[in-house]
A and B are shown apart, each in its own frame.
Chain A
Amino acid sequence: DSGVTQTPKHLITATGQRVTLRCSPRSGDLSVYWYQQSLDQGLQFLIQYYNGEERAKGNILERFSAQQFPDLHSELNLSSLELGDSALYFCASSVGVGGSSYEQYFGPGTRLTVT
């Protein structure tokens, strides 16, 4: 158990809909990351938040947005869903933004299926 929690575990929704994925980082970690894992693209970095502020953006679509709240939990919002958005979405956390923050601890993931 990494200490990172994600809800829900599974999500099935229709094209065009909007969903929210939730993540609580390990106790004491200030950075939260979102990654997408699909069969054709592998594990891809989406976005990082550090202590409530956006720190870095990766291949995140404009239809997707995220935020980190004062209690440090994070939400990833996916809107106008398309079939191609079906994937595993992982949250990870690390202590901060220094060198050791490359040691990221992953949650169990949310499997999103868009039908």
Chain B
Amino acid sequence: GQQLNQSPQSMFIQEGEDVSMNCTSSSIFNTWLWYKQEPGEGPVLLIALYKAGELTSNGRLTAQFGITRKDSFLNISASIPSDVGIYFCAGPPDDVHRQYGNKLVFGAGTILRVKS
């Protein structure tokens, strides 16, 4: 099946630093989503991307839909302690036969820790 590979697996950064993480696939995705999950909570939708090359911001977060359609990037500027959590990329698998509905596949996540 289609898999999403996230890197890095984890990051431990200083408060105020910028963060970059990415998500890659061997297959094309037509939609990319980024979620954040904090301990004991469900994933929270951060950004959705629908067009190759699209760049979308949500506050200090910026995500890009790679032009090859096989990757996406998430940047966080000027990190703060509340940015701590696990960041997941997700997307719908190729559904030529319309059998997957609105299923999402998720990457394994990037764990972000922030030193204050």
Contacts and interface: CB of A to CB of B under 8 A. Distances in A.
A48 B43 contact: no
Nearest to B50: A99
A83 interface: no
Contacts of B41: 108-109
B42 A101 contact: no
Interface string B66-96: 0000000000000000000000101110000
Given A43-B88, A102-B33, A103-B33, A56 B44 contact: no
Given A90-B42, A103-B48, A108-B41, A48 B88 contact: no
Contacts of A50: 101
Chain B interface size, under 10 / 10 to 19 / 20 to 34 / 35 or more = 20 to 34
Contacts of A97: 101-102
Nearest to A97: B102
Interface string A77-115: 000000000000010101001011111111111000000
A17 interface: no
A6 B48 CA distance: 24
**Which secondary structure dominates where chain B touches chain A?**
loop
Contacts of B105: 45
Interface residues of A, number: 28
A103 B33 CA distance: 8
Given A92-B42, A99-B50, 15 more contacts: A2-B44, A33-B103, A43-B90, A43-B106, A48-B103, A56-B101, A58-B103, A90-B42, A102-B31, A102-B33, A102-B92, A102-B102, A106-B35, A106-B42, A109-B41
